Amino acid sequence: MKLSDLKINESLKVTSINASSDIKHKLNDLGITKGVIITLTGISPLGDPYHIYLRGYRLAIEKSLLSYIDGDKI
Classify residue 26 by its DSSP letter.
H
* Banded pLDDT at 52 (limits 50, 70, 90): very high
Q: Give CA–CA dist 24/15, Å, rounded.
A: 13
Domains of the chain are 3-73 (2.30.30.90)
Tell me the pLDDT tens digit for each residue of 2-30. Answer: 999 999 999 999 999 999 999 999 999 99
Burial class (CB in 10 A: 0-12, 13-18, 19+), 12: buried
